[in-house]
Structures are given as C-alpha cells and as structure tokens.
Chain A
Amino acid sequence: MIRSLIFGTGVGIALGAAGASLLHRNQRVRSATNGDHGRRLRILILGGGFAGYYALRSTSAEIPGSKSR
C-alpha cells in the first residue's frame, strides 16, 4: 500500500515536472516569437516540396500559436 502510494506520488511528480517544463518551454518560445521582448520573430520557409512542407508543419507544431509564412 505504502509502496504503491510512493510509486504513484513519484509518477505524479515526474509527470507534473514534465508538464511544467513543457509549458515553460512553450511559454518561452511563444514569448520569443511573439516579440514580447522586442519585435516579432519571422521564420521564412522557402519551398513547398517534402522538406519545405515538413519544415512548415513541424515549425507550426513546435511553436505554439505561430503563424508561418
């Protein structure tokens, strides 16, 4: 019982830390790209082939709330 409680608490803390880290990361990325500390960052992707499309899709996924051009 105690072992399960400790295990559950450990998993909870790990998940919480991972979630908080992700949120913090997203916040930092959003802050940097939205220009909270200066002007808005512009990421330009040239090309609509395989490489360009996956770069665009992954950039949109990596940068929360981004608008790609």
Chain B
Amino acid sequence: MLFTSLLHEVAASDLDAADIVNPLHRLVCRAKFFSGEVRQVDLEHKTVLVSEGTDGEQRTFDYDYLVIGLGSESNFYNLPGVEENSITMKCLEDAFVLRNHMINQLEAADFDRGKGDPAALSFVVCGGGFSGVETIGAMSDFLRDATEFYPNLRRDMIKLTLVHAGEQLLPELGGKLGEYAVEKLRERGVEVILNTAVSAFANGRVHIGTGDTSCSIPAGTLVWTAGVKPAVAVQDLAAKKTKGRLLTLPTLELPDWTGVYAVGDCAAIPDPYHPGKFYGPTAQNAVRQGELVAQNIVAAILGRKQRPFRYRVLGQLAAIGQRRGIANILGLQFSGFAAWWLWRTVYLYKLPGLQKKVRVGFDWTLDAIFGKDLVQLRTSRIANLQRRLARTQGTAGNRPAA
C-alpha cells in the first residue's frame, strides 16, 4: 500500500521510497492476497477477472460481497502531447521518474555550462490542487538546494511555473489560504498562473490558454496533476455512474446490485451535508468509507440495517515547501511553520505501521541535519531487467501455474 500523500517528498529526496510503502501482507496478518490487474468485473455472474502482472496470466474470482476500491488514474483530457510527455504523481515510479528527470536536467544544463536550451531548466506543474501545490513546493526546494552541487548553475536559472485552471489555489482550504500559498510561492520565484488551462505540450513548449490569450512556455518538464478519472475496470462496469464514478447509495452499496459496494476515488457517494453533491476523492474520506463498508457488510450478513456514510471533514493540511504549510482545522485557518509542523505530525500519525513511522521520523530528522540526499534512482535499468527476465521466463516455459 502506497501512502500517496507523501509521494512528493520522495520525489524531492526528503524521504526514502520504501518508507511510504507498506506490504499489505504485513499490515493485515490474517489476509490472503492476489496481486494483479483487474480486467473485468461481471456483476451479473458475480465474478472478477484478474490478470497477473508480468505474463498476463488470468484468474477468475467469484464473490458474495464485493468492495470496489480501484481508485483513479490521471485524466489528460486528450490534450495533444500531454499524456505522452508529462510526468504524473500517482505512483512511486512517478516520484522516481520526476527525481531522475530533475537531476538529468541539472546535469545536462551544467554540462552545457548553462548556455544550452533554456527550456531544460524550466519546469511546469499543471494543477493547483493539493498534489500540484505540494509537488511544486517540493520541486522548488529540491532544485534550488541541488544547484549548489553544480558549479555552472545558479538558482536564478531555474524557472518554475504553476498553471491552474481555477481562480485560486487549493480551493478546498478557502480563499485566504489559497492566496497565502500564491504569495509564498511567488516569493520563492515560482510563477503562478491562475484561470488558465494547459492546452498542449509539444516541441519543448507548454501551450496555455485559448484564443487571443493563448501563449506558450518553453519547458523541458511538465508535471500533470490537473485531473483524475476512475480506473478502466470501473469505466466498463454495467452500473450507474456520474462523471465516470460509480454512483452509490448512502450506505456505499450500488443501487441495483445488492452486495456490491464502491469506496474511495472511484465512488460517487452522496454528501448529506451538501445536497446534490458527492464526497470528494480524498484520502480522509476513503479511510472512513473503508471502515464503514466493513460494518455494512457485516450488517448485511446479519440482516441488520446498514448505516449511511456521514462524515464531516475535520480539517485539511498542505505543505508548500521551505518548511511552510497551510491548514484549515475545524474552520480555523492558519499558515506558516506551525501548519507545516502539524502537517508532518498528522501524516506521521496517519502512516500505517509503527516501523514505517519510525523510519519516516528518522528520515525527516536526518534531512533536517544533513540536507537533501541528491541520489538518482535509474528506473530504465530496472525496466530493462524486468523485460529481459520476462523474455527469459517466456522462453524457458517452466513458469509454475498460480
């Protein structure tokens, strides 16, 4: 299980990658797992087709009760060049890729003595939600600290731009905190462009805006955090949906499918406190939904009444780099070092597993003493190795059946 809330810290070398990943086997000792990709969910016949990662071997599971928590994937809105050329922030590999890419760009620019392509040191992040703001804050810290190790580079050579289609950053936190985030990012030299959407990314240029207001930014990097859509297996499901998410009853059960529940990012669960709206795809909501779905399954087994999902968000926190944060706790808004400290404390508490908490605590302490660890983790070799191994296994033909 990946603790995605700290992904940007891995990208910025604040944390070791393994520290935010927990093996589910260890977390739930009594559990029995199958790791694979969900290919098809047949609600009619109550079966799920799953394929195993490396060679695509397929296996069918049947069920009496089903919980669909397949999450979401990045939505590129079919914009030219965006899906192919941008870096997302959804999985651990994305964090590796972003860190590797930032170091590659620095290496190349240093080799050219800073006189090469100016776009090489221009980084654009698209999306002003939590993921986008936290990522650009972490990138800013990382890149500016890293320039110390490159004699031909200066901090002012690095250009960071945050493009957001909305009127304010972090709309979930309220206007004042969004303005504070903009102010702090601009103080740090990050250009923040609001009310503007990215329209394409091609030939080293990020195209933004439409019509007369359109322009382009030279950039060697586009980080895409501007939208999500439900997983492919969910899109193909024969169930009611709204904006691609599975529409559920307040009890998390699908309306026409008894015993089938949806939770997390892929579920559209009605919010009783805001009629006509649905709960947002946040980790806070997903945790509570996961807990309630278990209780409702037990209630269904016992023939008892199931409880509706009712949850008021206690607060929200975001880190914006340079040990600054913004917070909205029970309506109380504050920012700065205290908010950043609270952000780290809360996420450390929420991180599953004592061992991981201790490791992350140590990492943060060492980071404060020694600074960032400028280590590049080359994923291309790992990918090549996996391809070679898969070919070897295929030719040997002696792979045991699952």
Quick one: which of A48, A51, A63, A66 contacts B24, CB cutoff 8 A? A48
Quick one: which of A33, A43, A47 contacts B71, CB cutoff 8 A? A47
Residue pair B48, A68 in contact (C-beta under 8 Å): no
Residue pair B48, A44 in contact (C-beta under 8 Å): yes
Residue pair A50, B30 in contact (C-beta under 8 Å): no
Residue pair A51, B289 in contact (C-beta under 8 Å): yes
Quick one: which of B30, B31, B68, B286 contacts A54, CB cutoff 8 A? B286
Quick one: which of A45, A48, A58, A62 contacts B1, CB cutoff 8 A? A48
Q: A23 vs B265: C-alpha distance in the bound complex, in angstroms? A: 35
Residue pair B298, A50 in contact (C-beta under 8 Å): no
Contacts of B263 in A (CB 8 A): 51-52, 55
The secondary-structure label for the interface of chain A is helix
Contacts of B283 in A (CB 8 A): 50
Q: Which of B32-40, B94-102, B355-363, B372-380 contacts A (4 or more CB under 8 A)?
A: B32-40
Residue pair A51, B71 in contact (C-beta under 8 Å): yes
Given the known interface contacts A53-B27, A67-B32, A69-B32, the answer about A46 and B41 at a Cβ–Cβ threshold of 8 Å is yes
Given the known interface contacts A50-B287, A57-B290, the answer about A44 and B24 at a Cβ–Cβ threshold of 8 Å is no
Q: A32 vs B7: C-alpha distance in the bound complex, in angstroms? A: 41
Residue pair A45, B69 in contact (C-beta under 8 Å): yes
Contacts of A55 in B (CB 8 A): 67, 69, 263, 289-291, 293-294
Residue pair B28, A60 in contact (C-beta under 8 Å): yes
* A41: nearest chain-B partner, CB-CB: B64
Contacts of A68 in B (CB 8 A): 28, 30-32
B219 to chain A, nearest CB (A): 30
Residue pair B286, A62 in contact (C-beta under 8 Å): no
* B350: nearest chain-A partner, CB-CB: A50
B353 to chain A, nearest CB (A): 11
A50 to chain B, nearest CB (A): 4
Contacts of B1 in A (CB 8 A): 48-50, 52-53
Most chain B CB within a 10 A radius of its CB, from A29, A44, A63:
A44
Contacts of A45 in B (CB 8 A): 66-67, 69
Residue pair A47, B28 in contact (C-beta under 8 Å): no
Residue pair A58, B295 in contact (C-beta under 8 Å): yes
Quick one: which of A25, A47, A59, A69 contacts B297, CB cutoff 8 A? A59
Contacts of B370 in A (CB 8 A): none
B119 to chain A, nearest CB (A): 35
User: What 13 new A-B contacts, CB under 8 Å, besides A43-B66, A44-B48, A55-B294?
Assistant: A29-B301, A41-B64, A43-B67, A44-B65, A46-B69, A47-B67, A49-B4, A51-B71, A51-B264, A56-B24, A60-B30, A68-B32, A69-B33
Binding site for B on A (CB under 8 A): 25, 28-29, 32-33, 41-63, 66-69
